[in-house]
């Protein structure tokens, strides 16, 4: 079952403890970290929609 997130949904903070090196790299980026994460997730979801996932065959969701 694939779902597309509501792009108009309210945003809320989420605590994800990344490693220190990742935080330092993120601070060098001009965009906000949350925007970078959203773009990365959207890119990954688009890729998954095109080629599917090996795990889809075994998912119980």
Q: Are 49 and 2 in contact (CB under 8 A)?
A: yes
Confidence (pLDDT) at 22: 83
Q: Which sequence spans correspond to the domains of the chain?
A: 20-50
Tell me: the pLDDT tens digits for 12-50?
887 878 889 988 887 887 767 778 788 888 998 888 888
Cβ atoms of 36 and 26 closer than 8 Å: yes
The set of residues, in sequence order, having a beta carbon less than 8 Å from that of 31 and lying 6+ positions away, is 39
Six-digit token string for 42: 């959207």
Residues 3-13 pLDDT 10s: 677 888 888 88
- Stated pTM of the model: 0.41
pLDDT at 1 over 70: no
């Amino acid at each position: 079952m694939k779902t597309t997130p509501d792009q108009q949904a309210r945003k809320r903070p989420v605590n994800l403890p990344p490693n220190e090196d990742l935080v330092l790299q993120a601070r060098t980026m001009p965009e906000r970290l949350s925007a970078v994460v959203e773009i990365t997730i959207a890119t990954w979801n688009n890729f998954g929609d095109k080629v599917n996932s090996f795990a889809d065959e075994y998912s119980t969701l």
